[in-house]
Amino acid sequence: MCRFIKKRFVYVIMILGLMLTADVSAAPLPSELSLDYAPYNPLSLVVKKFNWLEDEFKADHVPVRWVFSLGSDLALKYLQADSVNIASSGSLSSLWSRANGNRLNAVYVFARAAWVSIVVSRDSPINSVKELKGKRIAAEPGSDPYFFLLRALREAGMHKEDVVIVPLSHTEGRAAVELNRVDAWSAGIPHCAMSQMESGSRAIYRNVLFNSYGVLNVSEDFAGKYPQVVSRVIKVYERARKWSITHPDDLEAIYAEEQKLPLPISRVVLGRYDFSNPVISRNDIRVLREGYPVLKEEKLVRNNTDVDKVLADLVNMSFANNQGCPCMDR
């Protein structure tokens, strides 16, 4: 009887040991994975179209919830409010948001794009940034076009107080400039391309050096709690990136369908995207450093903000590197 009890005790210990081992090795999973899809992030449209994330987490019984975002500012607000786990934005918007207390990590570059122009209506007499002094300009605060506008004004010797910035979403900005309710509009694609091709609006200023790049952002808490989930999302994004490079015509068709655009506009928009390098490079850090002073001058961040610390806290390429993402540093 004593031997029987002893054997059962040993079996119980063995089973408990196996259970504890399983608990330690098993990766924790969220009850739901939520992320945004956006017109400025074509890869998000591909991933959503083909249900690749749903397939990735199907066996784990983790549902995927997609949230539409029109601009970086809205996407980053979703992230800060825990409405999404992963959000797309321009990198300078991410830097600004992190500097102002949004504990996020930029973990993947979905594209680099010449995606912003300053646009006026077809019959506008304005032809340069200098002529915008005292004028009404539509822009969405916190978005890449907003920061692009501030940098363009600074280059022309002006500040935001020298113009009237009208806070409008991208779609509202298009309507406002076409109806001459504002004098100009700092616009991102696809909206500016649509306005130019459909309504004859004119781009008076472009500068590829003032465009930041598109990143996936993850809340720091989510990245710390579910690192394997973040890595798996990046793995799926890598699949979409490689597919987009090898299937440009199909990508144009998907983009046109998802955004309800004519195919020629889709082609123009995607022609401004570069999907070649998904990892933040030294050149990308330089772009952010060069964009930072305008945030400070325009009092969009605190004067004592340590940009080096903000950058160090923001950029986390460990997830992309763990997926073997190519790094073509520049």
pLDDT tens string, the chain, 330 residues long: the values are 445 444 454 444 444 444 444 343 346 899 999 999 999 999 999 999 999 999 999 999 999 999 999 889 999 999 999 999 999 999 999 999 999 999 999 999 999 999 999 999 999 999 999 999 999 999 999 889 999 999 999 999 999 999 999 999 988 999 999 999 999 999 998 889 999 999 999 999 999 889 989 999 999 999 999 999 999 999 999 999 999 999 999 999 999 999 999 999 999 999 999 999 999 988 899 989 999 999 998 999 998 999 999 999 999 999 988 766 665 554
pTM of the predicted structure, to 2 decimals: 0.85
DSSP alpha helix (H) spans, 165-226? 170-178, 191-199, 220-225
Characterise 107 by phi-psi region: left (phi > 0), alpha (psi -120 to 50), beta (else).
alpha
User: Can 33-112+213-322 and 116-210 be said to share one CATH topology?
Assistant: yes
Which amino acid, 100?
N
Q: Which residues contact 3 (CB under 8 A, 6 or more apart)?
A: none
Sheet hosting strand 136-139, strand order edge to edge: 164-167, 136-139, 184-188, 116-120, 202-205
Quickly list DSSP for 58-106: TTTT--EEEEE-SSHHHHHHHHHTTS-SEEEEEHHHHHHHHHTT--EEE
Mean pLDDT for the chain? 90
Tens of pLDDT, residue by residue over 165-174, are 999 998 899 9
The CATH class for the domain spanning 33-112+213-322 reads alpha beta
CA angle, corner 64, sides to 58 and 66, nearest 5?
A: 150
Domain boundaries, the chain: 33-112+213-322, 116-210
The CATH class for the domain spanning 116-210 reads alpha beta
> For residues 221, 224, 227 and 230, what is the CA-based torsion angle, rounded to 10 degrees?
30
**Within 13 Å and on the Cβ side, how many CA atoms surround 28?**
8
Tens of pLDDT, residue by residue over 53-66, are 999 999 999 999 99
CA dihedral over 83, 84, 90, 92, signed as positive or negative? positive
> Which residue, chain included where needed, has tokens 């979905």?
110
Length of the chain equals 330
Which amino acid, 284?
D
